[in-house]
């Protein structure tokens, strides 16, 4: 598969990341990556290859056995305001309204209520939930709950969004709608996104850079740069010449790691 390099600002890098559990189970092995600023990088790989582990290392939630993660050249020492995590299972507070959930991170930082609510309402509108700010999670659909989680991450105003299979818990129709919403949002928000997914189609549709991890222990097998024009209508992306071919090429590369 053809690879090519792109000259752009590197906002985050990993250097020789190794994660070993219980002195015998190697989850990640020698993972070195450059993540370009203001682009979406997808991480693909077979089940159990360490995709989520890598995302948690980048988030600062797991300390690697060896190696380092740097944001703008500075090594991270744990979670930080420059990185926000969007969870697969929404991770909303069931007793809190949409407005309260979205503003949770700002409240933890001591932001005054008036400013917190104004910022939260802005991002509630951005993700298409205006009018639902007083609803509770149990009153929302799965797609709405995921939008709430995304709005919460956006309120923190982190440069880097870490998304762990964020659309896997919704049906296919809602998944496609959320994918479109994310692309539209990224036209407005100047964010760097690292997006873990099992779906090759989703990775090619969304990503500027696709990182393919091998089977356990997870290591970088290949990096692919989809030649997708995202400046026009989103509905046309999947109809572009080469889209299906690239999906098939990535599957040919990936399937040798699938047990």
Give the 3-state secondary structure percentages of the chain, helix then strand then coil, rounded to 5.
35, 25, 40
Task: Report whether 137 contacts 94 (CB < 8 A).
Answer: yes
Q: Is the pLDDT of residue 3 over 60?
A: no
pLDDT at 231: 74
CA torsion through residues 94, 99, 100, 104, sign: positive
More confident residue, 235 or 95: 95
Residue 6: strand, helix, or coil: coil
Question: Closest Cα partner for 43 from 217, 196, 257, 182?
Answer: 196
Q: What is the dotted CATH code of the domain comprising 10-82+158-257?
A: 3.40.50.300
Taking the model in full, what pTM does it have? 0.89
Report pLDDT digits (tens) over 56-115: 999 999 999 999 999 999 999 999 989 998 877 778 899 999 999 999 988 888 889 999
The strand ranges marked E within 106-215 are 160-164, 192-196, 209-213
Annotated domain spans of the chain = 10-82+158-257
Report pLDDT digits (tens) over 99-108: 999 999 888 8
């Amino acid at each position: 598969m053809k690879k090519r390099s792109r000259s752009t600002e590197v906002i985050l890098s990993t250097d020789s990341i190794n994660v070993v559990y219980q002195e015998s189970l190697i989850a990640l092995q020698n993972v070195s990556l450059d993540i370009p600023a203001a682009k979406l990088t997808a991480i693909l790989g077979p089940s159990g290859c360490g995709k989520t582990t890598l995302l948690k290392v980048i988030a600062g939630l797991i300390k690697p056995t060896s190696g380092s993660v740097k944001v703008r050249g500075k090594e991270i020492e744990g979670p930080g305001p420059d990185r926000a995590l969007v969870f697969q299972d929404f991770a909303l507070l069931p007793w809190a309204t949409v407005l309260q959930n979205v503003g949770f991170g700002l409240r933890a930082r001591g932001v005054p209520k008036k400013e917190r609510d104004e910022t939260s309402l802005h991002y509630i509108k951005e993700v298409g939930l205006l009018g639902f700010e007083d609803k509770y999670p149990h009153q929302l659909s799965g797609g709405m709950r995921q939008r709430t989680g995304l709005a919460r991450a956006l309120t923190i105003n982190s440069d880097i969004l870490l998304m762990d299979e964020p659309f896997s818990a919704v049906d296919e129709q809602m998944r496609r709608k959320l994918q479109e919403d994310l692309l539209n949002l990224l036209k407005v928000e100047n964010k760097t996104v690292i997006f873990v997914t099992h779906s090759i189609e989703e990775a090619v549709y969304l990503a500027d850079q696709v990182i393919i991890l091998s089977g356990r222990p997870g290591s970088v097998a290949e990096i692919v740069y989809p030649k997708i024009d995202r400046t026009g209508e989103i509905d046309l992306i999947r109809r572009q010449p080469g889209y299906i071919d690239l999906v098939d090429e990535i599957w040919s590369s990936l399937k040798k790691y699938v047990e």
